[in-house]
Structure 1
Amino acid sequence: MPISSDTAQNLLGEMFHIGRALRIALAFSDAGQLPPGGLGVLTTLDVAGPCRQVDLAADLRITQSAMSRHITELVGAGYISRQADPSDGRAALVQLTGEGRDLLYRAREIHTRHLQETLNDWSEDDAEQAFLAVRRLRNSLNSRARCAPADENPQVSKERTDV
């Protein structure tokens, strides 16, 4: 049985508020000139390894023009590098640099510590149950995105469960 409209609207509202709260609570002061979404690009590259810009955009479900801006800014900051794709000289592969990996790991440590402090009154079981519910929600959203008509979701790719 599908969920009610009220429940769906309440859940959407909470997800919006969670997104805003996360951006505020997990602000990373050591990110320098990192563009919004830059840590997402670095995280995806850390998992995927060297990849084409088009594949990276699909994984992140963003447009090619948005990805181009991210790549340009991240290359300029020294956090990623671009090199010719050995299998297709017309394409380029992007990958993390040592500086980008260091920045990403510092951000992860700070974010982890901050979330632990924020949830200090939660039990391990409460946090695990929240993780499972959020992962299930993400998987459902990703499943819906893969089934959407092309004009509704032009950026569809394989799901990442380890990001």
Structure 2
Amino acid sequence: MAAQTQYEELARQLSAIGAVKRELSRALPQDCPPASAVVLMLLDRYGQMRMSKLAELMTIDTSVTSRHVAHVEARGWIDRRPDPLDGRSRLLRLSTRGETLLAQVTARYTEALATHLSDWSDDDVGRLNELLARLRASFDEPRSRDCAARPAGSTARTPAHT
């Protein structure tokens, strides 16, 4: 297990990632905020889905997801269709216009990353990808949610921690 000071430095570095995200968001088209790009990316990656599934993937409340979906739908980037399994529900899917925009967004993000990381080796970029994927996966584990739910300073251990 890493030393406490390493976790403190990691917390500082993760806080600084906000600046990286802001810089990358400048590469987005004017009417496509980062959350809209995430909606499009998730629909592209996972295919059509209900609003509740999208909210789960975005790890945000359904009401917030609904606002993001309304934004992308108003621009014609997604379609809503009746769910054949439940006519009361709607399935969201990427439209042709959304696919075109997502291709632009992907190209712009890729170019921005390539520009900012031009002095990095392929191995360094690959390692960063691996470590970020591993970090994300660690927060997807039930044990991580148990830790986050405990008050700061709590020493209570759950079965997952023993």
Q: TM-score, normalised by structure 1?
A: 0.82
CA distance in 1, matches of 2:24, 2:68: 23
Q: Does the 8 Å CA contact 1:28/1:110 hold for their aligned counterparts?
A: yes
Structure 1: gaps of 5 or more residues:
153-163
CA distance in 1, matches of 2:129, 2:10: 16
The residue number in structure 2 matching 1:125 is: 123
Is 1:148 aligned to 2:145, yes or no?
Answer: yes
The residue number in structure 1 matching 2:36 is: 38
CA distance in 2, matches of 1:138, 1:35: 22
CA distance in 1, matches of 2:112, 2:144: 36
The residue number in structure 2 matching 1:22 is: 21
Q: Percent identity?
A: 30
Q: RMSD value over aligned CA atoms? A: 1.9
CA distance in 2, matches of 1:84, 1:74: 18
Q: 1:50 aligns with which of 40, 48, 51?
A: 48
Q: 1:137 aligns with which of 135, 138, 141?
A: 135
Q: What is the deviation of 1:122?
A: 1.1
Specify the SS of the correspondent of 1:51. coil
Q: What is the deviation of 1:7?
A: 1.4
Q: Which is worse superposed, 11-20 or 67-76?
A: 11-20
CA distance in 2, matches of 1:138, 1:22: 16
Structure 2: gaps of 5 or more residues:
150-162
The residue number in structure 1 matching 2:157 is: none
Alignment of structure 1 residues 81-160 onto 2, 5 Å: 81-144=79-142, 148=145, 152=149
Q: What is the deviation of 1:136?
A: 1.2
CA deviation profile, 1:1-32 (whole Å, cap 9, x unmatched): x32322112112111212321221342342x3
Q: TM-score, normalised by structure 2?
A: 0.83
The residue number in structure 1 matching 2:8 is: 9
The residue number in structure 1 matching 2:65 is: 67
Specify the SS of the correspondent of 1:148. helix
Which of the two has higher C-alpha Rg?
2
Q: Does the 8 Å CA contact 1:43/1:104 hold for their aligned counterparts?
A: yes
